[in-house]
Structure 1
Amino acid sequence: MAARRVEKMRMLEREGLHSIGTDITDENSVVTLFEHVKKKCGKIDLLINAAGIAAPDVSIEELSAADFLQVLNVNVLGSFLCAREAFRHDCKRIINIGSISSMAPRPNSAAYTASKFAIQGLNRALALDGRQRNISVGVLHPGNVASELLSPEIFKQRQDQEGLLDLNDLVRSVLLMASMPPSANVLELTIMPTTQPLVGRG
């Protein structure tokens, strides 16, 4: 698993997983990551593009260009660089993590929403480009997920008003997509709490 946060890497290693420090917004770092994995494992079977951040919860008038670009760099450029290297190493399945924000955005989310719309487009382009090489590319669109990244206030608000998915629900969805035979591809999958509004949310 690639990660940039040192504490996250140490936690993974304690659980017996192999991790490597990577900045997915840095081209050389991503190239090095894939070369390392190929050398250590012999081949690369699956890429899960799961890294992502959100911009500060501010109005469009207050959103800085730097914050906007940071979100695009992590969420879009990082996913592109990883997918490109996966293609170069003939990885046969790529799973991108999108968001239902690419269907119905929340207020004050221009950067995050733009990035997830971009992931939707990137996913379709990759699926098309991968077709002749038997590379399956799909995107998982989660709704609200119980995450340590949520502030306590937002966590409680969403839990009370819309519901939250357990992280294991998300994991099961990824495993479903990853376990498909080479002849099958889940192009898009949406999972959200039963009580979460989607249509008309914006």
Structure 2
Amino acid sequence: MKLVVLSAGLSVPSSTRLLADRLTGAVGRHASVDVEVVELRDLAVEIAHHFTNGFPGRRLAAAQEAVAAADGLIVVTPVFSASYSGLFKSFFDVLDPDAVAGKPVLIAATGGSARHSLVLEHALRPLFSYLHAVVVPTAVYAASEDWGAQGLPERIERAAGELTALMTGLSAPSLAPQPAKAGQEAGFTVVPFAEQLAALAAR
């Protein structure tokens, strides 16, 4: 399975990238994944040029293709003005509207204060719902005081488990086209989202 990690951190080192790495490591403990990390700050100039000329540069095009080919995504943004960063939003503005449709996505954010944690539900979740992604139930927010404190590792593990379960379920052979049976049309065997979550909770 291919996991693409999008980090919108601007500084080096970046707490946003640190959270992205922690989440990626947790997913790797649940399943074998091929990971590709995309640092959006490295694409800032090409994203800006795309807005003005309509064409992606080489690195931006490669990132767009990686997202389209992914089995699942981890997306992490710093909080700016009580929302996701402009760079984060700009990347999805130049992405094909159907690139993340149906893909499992783990949303996460970092900020200086716990008061901004609702950005996950008020900004990120609506964005990916609009893009028709399958957003995992547990979102992860890390304020400055969360690093090294109790609670963050548990949220990371829970979110990673949910993402892995969705990635595994959506790529399982049971979702491949099945031969038509008597009185039925050929189609897909789909496991309802609620059943997948129930199975995950029972582990």
**Structure (1 or 2) with the greater strand fraction:** 2
TM-score range, shorter chain: 0.3 to 0.5
Normalized against structure 1, the TM-score is what? 0.45
Q: TM-score, normalised by structure 2?
A: 0.45
